Structure 1
Amino acid sequence: MKYLSIIFQSLKSPWYYWYQGRKLVAICGMGLGMAVTGLFIGLTAGLSLFPLVLALAFDHLLIVFVVLYLILRFSLPAYLPIALADWFMVKQLVLIALPGILITRVCTLGVVTLAERDFDCAD
């Protein structure tokens, strides 16, 4: 469990590296993440671009949106089409976009690890 906590702490958004001044690492991480996530979406959802755009553009906001939906879902009035909203949340956001965020962060971690290793070899 300790190692899992360390791994999740090191999974940072590409935007973190962008604002830290490591723009090449951020761009490479986003590009690799977009390619792998696009392959994942192509295999699971028939290449729907909606979750791919959500996963890349709204990295943190998407997680907050899902949590807020889960909190507010049971206080919604009964006359609203809750089944349709649940279907949209599960199919588009939970099953596709959230794994896309994780894939993008893992790819960015790989790019950072390779960049640091290459930088250390150059010294």
Structure 2
Amino acid sequence: MKSMWRAFALDKLDRFKSPWFYWHTGRKRVAIASLIVSTLAMWTAFVLAAGFSLWSIIIAVLLDAVGFWLALAYLLFLRSHLPGFTGLQSIADFFIVNQLAIPLLIGFFATRAATYWVAKACGHLPPNPKPPDEPPP
């Protein structure tokens, strides 16, 4: 039962590609349109409603998964060099979480959802491989 659910979930998640997948496979119109749609959606939701920085939205949309590595690099390398007694470390932590980590996490999924919808509207979804009827020997 678990393996069937895992296969189903991975099959569905595989269809949610990054805009850069469409950019590098020659479908630049899908990539640019999905980046614009996800930027506008996140700008409306975060900048206007929640008071996030516009730069964090742009970084979240353009960097995609690279932003996770930036946040991890801060946590592992840079954070230990900031003095905690002056309050600088807590200010930097607050800034990284609110202006980088939260928009990156939500942007990761929002960008992929927007890319899926744009690709579906343009008729450029990647093929869904059908599993064979027989198990391998």
**TM-score by shorter chain over 0.5:** yes
Q: CA deviation at 1:103?
A: 0.6
Identify the residue that residue 20 of structure 2 maps to in structure 1.
Answer: 15
Q: Which 10-residue stretch deviates more, 19-28 or 47-56?
A: 47-56
Between Structure 1 and Structure 2, whose CA radius of gyration is higher? 2
Q: CA deviation at 1:8?
A: 3.2
Identify the residue that residue 95 of structure 2 maps to in structure 1.
Answer: 88
Identify the residue that residue 130 of structure 2 maps to in structure 1.
Answer: none
Q: CA deviation at 1:18?
A: 0.8
- Give 4+ residue runs of structure 1 displaced > 4 Å after superposition: none
Identify the residue that residue 50 of structure 1 maps to in structure 2.
Answer: 55
Equivalent in 31, 41, 44 of residue 36 of structure 1 = 41
Identify the residue that residue 110 of structure 1 maps to in structure 2.
Answer: 117
Q: Name structure 1 gaps, 5 residues minimum.
A: 118-123
TM-score normalized by structure 1? Answer: 0.77
Separation of aligned partners in 2, 1:55 and 1:6? 25
Higher helix share: 1
Equivalent in 53, 68, 76 of residue 63 of structure 1 = 68
Greater RCO between the two (CA within 8 Å, min separation 6)?
1
Q: How many residues align structurally?
A: 117
Q: CA deviation at 1:44?
A: 4.4
Q: Structure 1's 39 and 16: CA in aligned 2 closer, same or farther, altered over 3 A?
A: same
- Residues 1:79 and 2:83 are matched in the alignment: yes
